[in-house]
Amino acid sequence: MDAELSAELTAAIQRYAALSADPYGDEALSGLDVTTTEACTVATALLKSQSLTPFEFAVWFAGSAR
């Protein structure tokens, strides 16, 4: 199950990054039907999987501001 889920999430992330006109904007994701808890859970797991700290993400996040 974990390998299948990981493969599906990888494909979704890569597709979003490749096809989104503005990957740092929120328009492409405005139709998501997820809770704040679900979004934060996935975001946290992604950060941990890439060995990123909240500080490193904050630097990246600040650099992507419009």
User: Which residue's structure tokens are 């996040």?
Assistant: 61
Model pLDDT, residue 61: 81
Q: Which residue has the higher pLDDT, 24 or 56?
A: 56
11, 33, 44 from 37: Cα distances, Å = 22, 12, 10
Q: For the chain, what percent of residues have pLDDT higher than 70?
A: 95
Tens of pLDDT, residues 18-42 = 998 888 887 878 888 999 999 999 9
pLDDT at 28: 77
